[in-house]
């Protein structure tokens, strides 16, 4: 199964040279760039298709709550599919600055690699939103390009704490799964279920960002900056909170890898691995 996964890999990750610890690891940053673009474009396309006037999403699923859940399944599912792809197995498929920051705080990433990941994620968050605008045109405009905003009837404080708690829970879930040998390979499935559930319960409050890059791209394209600071502060704070909580509450348990799907065929640029890996 592992060997078959590499047959169509471009580039062939198993043929990459070993990763010197303090070098810049451009293939991994490029993979994060592609993954974030894929996730932002596919996820926001689901938002457009299911909500824009004139498109069939609302007619196919008339119940707004069910439609929101389906949107979350597509958004989260696109990220999980990328995670199990050959490219996702190379970088670890964070595709979210909050996840990268959490692993940095846990001592699993060198900070220059964290910077490379986050820079790629933010740049492509914008490019993904631009692609959304080009492909969907006025339909994307009709839903504000998927900009995350506090919901009607909710305050900025409500949205901030919703984003903090949801990201805390999400990143803590990742830490829990990647610290157990029996659960490690199921991390992409957990990601799909948890994120889609958070979209379903939290979108009405804050838009369920969890991801500063996902919020930054649409905000840049739409020119909408109202309350956007929430999405650049609360999710990273939630990720840092999850790292601190894990260190204190789960003493003695090691995070095995900073990849959301670990494969022995792909090199790792991360620190303190507790699994076999091609170095």
pLDDT digits (tens, 9 = 90+) for 255-265: 999 999 988 88
Where are the chain's structural domains?
Answer: 25-249
User: How much is the mean pLDDT over the chain?
Assistant: 90
Q: How far is CA 124 from CA 62, 80, 195, in A?
A: 33, 18, 20
Tell me the per-residue pLDDT of 213-223, one tens digit each, with 9 for 90 and over: 999 999 999 99
User: What one-character-per-residue DSSP string does 164-210 give?
Assistant: HHHHHHHHHHHHHHTT-TTTGGGHHHHHHHHHHHHHHHHHHHH----
Tell me what the mean pLDDT of segment 1-5 comes to.
44
Lookup: tokens for 48: 């457009």
End-to-end CA distance of the chain: 21
Superfamily of domain 25-249: Glycerol uptake facilitator protein. (1.20.1080.10)
pLDDT tens profile 31-80: 999 999 999 999 999 999 999 999 999 889 999 999 999 999 999 999 99
**In this model, does residue 246 exceed pLDDT 90?**
yes
List phi, psi (to 5°) of 122: -70, -45
- Distance CA(229)–CA(227), nearest Å, equals 5
């Amino acid at each position: 199964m592992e060997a078959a996964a590499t047959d169509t890999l471009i580039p062939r990750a198993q043929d990459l040279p070993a990763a010197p610890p303090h070098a810049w690891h451009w293939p991994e940053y490029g993979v994060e760039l592609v993954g974030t673009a894929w996730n932002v474009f596919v996820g926001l396309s689901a938002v457009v298709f299911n909500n824009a006037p004139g498109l069939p999403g609302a007619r196919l699923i008339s119940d707004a709550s069910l439609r929101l859940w389906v949107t979350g399944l597509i958004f989260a599912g696109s990220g999980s599919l990328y995670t199990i792809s050959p490219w996702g197995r190379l970088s670890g498929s964070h595709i979210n600055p909050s996840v990268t920051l959490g692993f940095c705080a846990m001592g699993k990433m060198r900070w220059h690699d964290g910077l490379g990941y986050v820079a790629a994620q933010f740049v492509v968050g914008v490019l993904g939103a631009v692609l959304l605008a080009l492909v969907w045109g006025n339909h994307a405009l009709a839903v504000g390009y998927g900009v995350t905003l506090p919901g009607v009837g909710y305050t900025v404080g409500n949205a901030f704490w919703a984003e903090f708690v949801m990201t805390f829970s999400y990143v803590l879930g990742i830490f829990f799964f990647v610290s157990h040998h029996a659960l490690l390979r199921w991390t992409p499935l957990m990601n799909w279920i948890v994120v889609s559930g958070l979209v379903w319960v939290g979108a009405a409050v804050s838009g369920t960002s969890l991801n500063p890059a996902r919020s930054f791209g649409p905000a840049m394209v739409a020119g909408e900056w109202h309350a956007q600071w929430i999405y650049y502060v609360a999710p990273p704070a939630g990720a840092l909170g999850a790292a601190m909580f894990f260190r204190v509450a789960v003493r003695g348990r090691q995070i095995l890898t900073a990849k959301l799907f670990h494969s022995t065929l792909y090199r790792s640029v991360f620190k303190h691995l507790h699994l076999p890996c091609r170095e």
